[in-house]
A and B are shown apart, each in its own frame.
Chain A
């Protein structure tokens, strides 16, 4: 069982902003929304899970890793067990769509044969096989986000972290993206999605962590 657990986590930036005494679990296969107004600390929570940021007090457990004991060299290994999707897509803009997905498989040292099979499978799942030779800049926002999701899923993570994945997309495209996350979750992958879109949270009625001023209030 791979879970995420925040134990009394306080994490502050140098200016005093951040997260205060956060306690919560995300169990395997769960879908959790992280909601709250701008500046509440949603992205900060995701950074703590990705370990680009470390708590000042308390600890963050991600799968087998613990923020207090993890070695710098292990951080890439941790991240390979996570998938991440961002509001601004963050595709590697110097290579085509196929290479973007293949990248995360290459860095784990898979064989070319497997990489090809897996990349084509991921492309098919987000319905963009025909765009595999395009550069990211030649895709629409929605298409870029689909590729980002395909990349996040390529290494078969136990959880996908999504930071406002629909923030830059129109409502119609957004609902398509959300359907993708729903399918991913139904196959057993946990999803943690940060959003301040109330509509979304209401339509899906998943568990929601409500943040305000760096505290979890519900």
Chain B
């Protein structure tokens, strides 16, 4: 109990005994963590945006002419029963014509007696099943009675899928890179600190301090440094978001600031680096 208390209080005192090294550690952690946070914020926004764009791809299922209202409702229900179909909005012949007229200012209704545009369902599906599933789903819709034709921008979806998965890979790659950089900076810091304290550590060993007792305070110190840097980087991020009004550029802002995780990552990073460096030394 006394020993544990000693280790913790030594760790805390250590923060102030070697102020410069503490400052250096916290500063480098703060820097990389802020980068990491901002990076996370941006990448989540990008991924979210891409997801949204993909979600906008709809399937148009055109109906045969002359279906009764009852038949249309039944058809709609059948479509909605197919797995992965989210919504199926009915778009009547009149609505189609109206839209057409909006697009082309000339009034064709006088030229053509009958409305030639078919009614349709605007179908939204969940795009998490891969391309094959999507293709199956479309053929299922096509086979339904009363459906004339299904139009789907397959190439657009394929491109979108490819783009978003390669983007995801790149983002993960950058994130891991950033983690490594901060690991490296911390590693160099702790090495410098240990070098500066080599004689001190040796003396402690000579007067009978156990290794665990020499290491312990370093661990405690690293945890506190991680905590301070973690909280600090969050504040810095909030400040940056506020100053540069990033909220308007990065709308998925609340969602992707996980304060507890950010601090936890900082603590783990700091402790883990310290742990590895010290195990190799003492």
Chain A residues within CB distance 8 Å of chain B: 50, 52, 73, 76-80, 82, 84, 90-95, 103-104, 106-112, 151-152, 155
Contacts and interface: CB of A to CB of B under 8 A. Distances in A.
B103 interface: no
A78 B208 CA distance: 7
B23 interface: no
Interface of B: 2-3, 6, 13, 17-18, 197, 199-200, 203-211, 213
B207 A79 contact: yes
A77 B208 contact: yes
Contact of B206 (A90, A109, A112): A90
Contacts of B204: 92, 103, 107
A107 B210 contact: yes
B2 A76 contact: no
Contact of B208 (A79, A94, A111): A79
Given A92-B200, A94-B200, A111 B2 contact: yes
18 contacts: A52-B206, A76-B209, A76-B210, A78-B208, A79-B206, A79-B207, A80-B207, A82-B208, A84-B207, A90-B199, A92-B203, A103-B207, A104-B208, A107-B3, A107-B6, A107-B207, A107-B209, A108-B208
A217 B68 CA distance: 121
Given A76-B209, A77-B208, A94-B18, A106 B6 contact: yes
Contacts of A82: 208
Contacts of A94: 17-18, 197, 200
Contacts of B13: 95
Contacts of A78: 208
Contacts, number: 58
A155 B208 CA distance: 10
Nearest to B201: A92
A111 B6 CA distance: 10
B56 to A, nearest CB: 62
A50 B206 contact: yes
Contacts of A151: 207
A109 B2 contact: yes
B207 A110 contact: no
Contacts of B211: 76
Contacts of A110: 2
A107 B18 contact: no
Contacts of A91: 203
A151 B209 CA distance: 13
A111 B213 CA distance: 16
Contacts of A111: 2
Contacts of B203: 90-92
A9 to B, nearest CB: 20
Contacts of A77: 208
Pairs A-B, 4 closest by C-beta atoms: A79-B208, A80-B208, A94-B17, A76-B210
Contact of A107 (B17, B197, B199, B213): B213
A146 B6 CA distance: 25
A95 B9 CA distance: 13
